[in-house]
Amino acid sequence: MAVLPIVEVPDPRLRLVSGPVDAIDAATRAFVADLIETMYAAKGIGLAAIQVGVDRRILVIDLQAEEDAEGKPVRDPHAYLNPEILSVSDELSVYNEGCLSIPEQYAEVARPASCRVRWQDEQGGDHEEDMDGLLATCMQHEIDHLNGVLFTDHLSRLKRDMVMKKLTKMRKMA
């Protein structure tokens, strides 16, 4: 497994619409393992393939909500290949979202509180599930990446400009 470099704004690859995964083979599974390793190394809870420069419809999520006896997060990563949102709720929920491609910047984003998602796993199995809470938010955030959409696109122009100015200032100080 390898930790891959994460693409950051304003890289134009983040605006690409990712293509489908046609073959789920050993190379795809190895890439998924690298994506998971990269997500953990960056201390994220989700990562889309395009965030490491690969324009394929693959994302990984691990909310790491549970802790073991020593207080360390229990790792339970999941890979989603060719995910698609089938339906969303009318009810919205607001989360303070961040993004590994927009480091150390956060903003409140309103998204549907629940969604129904279809995807394939790394073995090619088909799945469909209703998701809510943080999982629904994370799934929508990562699928947005596959469609060339960033969480800042859900903000008002004023808030988006503030986030980008803070990012520019942080980069200058580094």
SS (H, E, C) 77-137: CEEEEEEEEEEECCCEEEEEEEECCEEEEEEEEEEECEEEEEEECCCCCEEEEEEEHHHHH
The pTM of the full predicted model, rounded to 2 decimals, is 0.94
Q: Is the pLDDT of residue 7 over 80?
A: yes
| pLDDT tens digits for range 105-149 | 999 999 999 999 999 999 999 999 999 999 999 999 999 999 999
Active site annotation includes 142: yes
What pLDDT band is residue 174 in, cutting at 50, 70 and 90?
confident
**Structure-block tokens of residue 100:** 């590994």
Q: Is the pLDDT of residue 43 over 80?
A: yes
User: Pick the residue with more confidence: 18 or 69?
Assistant: 18
Q: Is the pLDDT of residue 17 over 90?
A: yes
Q: Which pLDDT score, from 0 to 100, does residue 116 have?
A: 98
Distance CA 140, CA 117 (A): 9
Q: Is the pLDDT of residue 21 over 90?
A: yes
Mean pLDDT value of segment 36-40: 97
Q: Is the pLDDT of residue 71 over 90?
A: no
Q: Is the pLDDT of residue 65 over 80?
A: no
Residue identified by tokens 């073991």 is: 68
What pLDDT band is residue 47 in, cutting at 50, 70 and 90?
very high
Q: Which pLDDT score, from 0 to 100, does residue 67 have?
A: 80
Greatest CA separation for the chain: 47
What is the Rg, in whole angstroms, of the alpha carbon atoms belonging to the chain?
16
Q: Determine which one of 70, 97, 128, 142 is catalytic.
A: 142
CATH 3.90.45.10 fits 12-173, yes or no: yes
Least Cα distance to 141 among 166, 112, 104 occurs for 112
Q: Is the pLDDT of residue 73 over 90?
A: no
Q: Which pLDDT score, from 0 to 100, does residue 64 have?
A: 86
